[in-house]
Structure 1
């Protein structure tokens, strides 16, 4: 019986993931660093960051770079095209300004297409396809690292009214190309997980419905087949970390309408990956899976894939926290209670939206047994204890650096009084909250919305601290967190 199952599985994988596709996928993954665009290595990229890259391809005879529109804020929207085939593939990214992972991957793909490597495979792609890239559809949103455009609307809900010039551009380009395949490229929250597992939904897919009945015609069916193909690629590099979006029809959405207009549309959402704050591993997975999908479209070897496999991809769920603390003892009004805590490390942008700091929150508490964490601590037998203010006043930030961090944390001190708090400082560079001499710390009361700062004590000893939502093992030699808070 086991032998039969093994043969059946091998046959299934072989049918939907041919040997030559496996070979190119492995090679793409292993050689990725040769094509990764180094100038855009962080998520908060802006319109000015991609202009030199577009200019490079504009001056390259292999590519055609065309201005196709202008954002509300006056920023050019550009289309980069390559190939001579009869099948048009259209990829657009950053419809939401704070979703840049695929924009980065697009420039990696363009670097690949511009190289002299993989000559045979690229000839197959470019002789059969014409591939068009529209990176950063919402440059004004990217400037502010926000989802919406300057009109304050979600471009992805403007497919019918077409009020935004960015929406008009997307519709016009889709229609002018009459694209056969479309890749609608987004980022999703890092708190999505693959249904009923602790694994993050690193990549999520959707073949959007084109009507309320969720019918499957050839156009949508082809999108499903490509998604099945891509899912099987990703299982090698992020096993169990692929999700599938709910396919309820949204009549205002571009993905649903582009499917309706005759383009086989694949929605790709980049989610979370452990210890990948800037989503660079996810960027790599986008590069590998999208290029592999383009290659299989060029060879048309996706056509025999059974679309029933699409429904087997686990649905997206949203049951993840950055930090989950399980079974801690919390004393309230003289009574002990067993409580779980779900903590999220929330990003706050600096002015200019080039970088960020953290202002964490307790997101939920109680019985969180159906939730998961990127980091989980079993706190059974540990008592949650409030953090204390260090009684001595430190002169300035230089004085803060001279403190024995581990010794103070091990005594339960989580707040340091500073005589001179720099007026422009937004957060603490040390694993202590900085407070003014007049600061009065509120009573220790756990509830959703508060900044998570406390210690965990067992047998009279402090073993762990949580400062600004970051777990600190007090036995560790290296104690540091990205930042703590300033309370004036």
Structure 2
């Protein structure tokens, strides 16, 4: 059964779960969705255990076939992209009376699929990697010190799957080697021993991953890589491979203009559904393991912004350098803000940026704190804030801050502060904040690097760039 990209696009458009729009959804969100799916009767949904803090962990089962497949997502609480895709898939599997029933019938008759859509609900509640115990669950396959890891081991022992899908997010700064292309999806057929030997189980995983890469190249050419295949005796993917389940790791990476990973969510849906179809048919065997081996490994050369050959400092102390900037997220409830910092400086010829500046005659220009004070952030419109930014002011004092942490978040291109003083850097420092201007020798401002965001002052504020800032 060959499914083309048009069909995949139509399926996804019809069955995307509209209730999940942002990465920081909570356990109660998926709990309510699963209750709705349970009422429809096509998916068998059961509570298989509880997290360390007592949140329910669910398993979703579909199909009556002989080939057993396990998929588990969000064992790291801050890696939710595939979880959203699984709920899109649940909508599809619960569908009826459309042109896609042949696909469902194939999956129902050939496969026995077991999904665990949120394995670490305590971590998801905090949007943190580790469990409530402070343990990295993906390093707990051997010891079983976490209740969640022990549960996954127990389910694997009981189900004895022939195929496994380990679903994760990787950081957005991996790139395809020697290119500025972000890696949007990483794939891996994990090693099952120290020598990284290839037996029939791992070779089948390689072939499944090669099938995923084939369709991914239709959507994101030259944006796929392999994850590090160093054997990890504590890792679940490595252990599932050793337990005779042909296991593929899917890592959701980065894509410019997709901060909430909604496009990458779609890619997850497509490659998982395509792989399930190929497993059901056995058609993944047409791929050669060399097609998998040809996928390059992740490089780590990418930053949010790279500025090349910028003059920093004055007079005899001035020097030319490259600057690399990254933004670090901090979670506030269901939202977040960022802190931009200078991640590296020096000769960065081998580094790349989602955005890059490489022009002659540019220099670092310090930002200023405005002398005016406003009552609240709401007092300034985006246009007024941008006008201040163009005048060289990057920080404004505010009298009132919202009562809740969420109320302190804003999307204006300025820093707001309520304490007595706010400090802006006077030069570029390694590890320092990324708040400065870039201009010419006459002091004319051309770009603002505001909290790690690049704003072209000659073009106006780009409404497609959503700034995630917080009142200090």
TM-score under structure 1 length normalisation:
0.90
Taking the TM superposition and a 5 Å limit, the aligned residue runs for 1:98-137 are: 98-116=78-96, 117=98, 118-137=100-119
CA shift, 1:76, in A, is: 1.3
CA distance in 1, matches of 2:85, 2:94: 14
- Contiguous gaps of at least 5 residues in structure 1: 1-19
The answer as to 2:72 corresponding to 1:72 is no
1:15 alignment counterpart? none
Q: Which runs of 4+ in 1 moved over 6 A?
A: none
The alpha-carbon deviation at position 333 of structure 1 amounts to 6.2
Paired residue secondary structure (1:84): coil
Which deviates the most, 424-433 or 196-205? 424-433
1:473 equivalent to 2:453? Answer no
Shift of 1:197: 1.5
- Taking structure 1 as reference, are residues 402 and 217 closer, same or farther at Cα in structure 2, changes over 3 Å only? closer
- Whether 2:430 is the aligned partner of 1:430: answer no
1:192 alignment counterpart: 174
Matched, 1:41 2:21: yes
Post-superposition Cα deviations, 1:146-191, rounded to whole Å, max 9, x if no partner, equal 0000111011111111111111111111111110100000011011
Q: Residues 266-312 of structure 1, C-alpha deviation per residue, up to 9 Å, x if partnerless?
A: 00000101110110000000000110000000110111321011111
What residue in structure 1 maps to residue 10 of structure 2?
A: 30
How far apart, CA to CA, are the structure 1 residues paired with 2:14 and 2:331? 31
Distance verdict in 2 for CA 1:59–1:438, change over 3 Å: closer
Residue 402 of structure 1: CA displacement? 9.1
Whether 1:93 aligns to 2:73 is yes
Q: CA contact under 8 A between 2:397 and 2:418: conserved in structure 1?
A: yes
CA distance in structure 2 between the aligned counterparts of 1:78 and 1:234, rounded to whole angstroms: 29
Which stretch has the larger CA shift, 383-392 or 97-106? Answer: 383-392
Q: How does 1:55-454 map to 2 (within 5 A)?
A: 55-116=35-96, 117=98, 118-332=100-314, 334-350=316-332, 353-401=333-381, 404-420=384-400, 426=408, 429-435=411-417, 438-439=420-421, 441=423, 444-454=426-436
The 1:355–1:161 alpha-carbon spacing in structure 2 relative to 1, beyond 3 Å, is: same
- Residues in 1 aligned to 2:144 and 2:315: alpha-carbon distance in whole angstroms: 57
Question: Cα distance 1:426–1:222, how it changes in 2: closer, same or farther (>3 A)?
Answer: same
Aligned residue pair count = 465
Per the TM alignment, residue 394 of structure 1 is displaced from its structure 2 partner at its CA by 3.8
Indicate conservation of the 8 Å contact 2:386/2:413, yes or no.
Answer: no
Q: What do residues 298-346 of structure 1 show as CA deviations (whole Å, max 9, x unaligned)?
A: 1101113210111110101111111111221112563332111111122
Task: Name the TM-score, length of structure 2 as normaliser.
Answer: 0.93
SS at match of 1:59: helix
Counterparts of 1:56 and 1:400 in 2: how far apart (Å)?
43
Counterparts of 1:406 and 1:42, CA distance in 2: 27
- Secondary structure at the aligned position of 1:439 is classed as coil
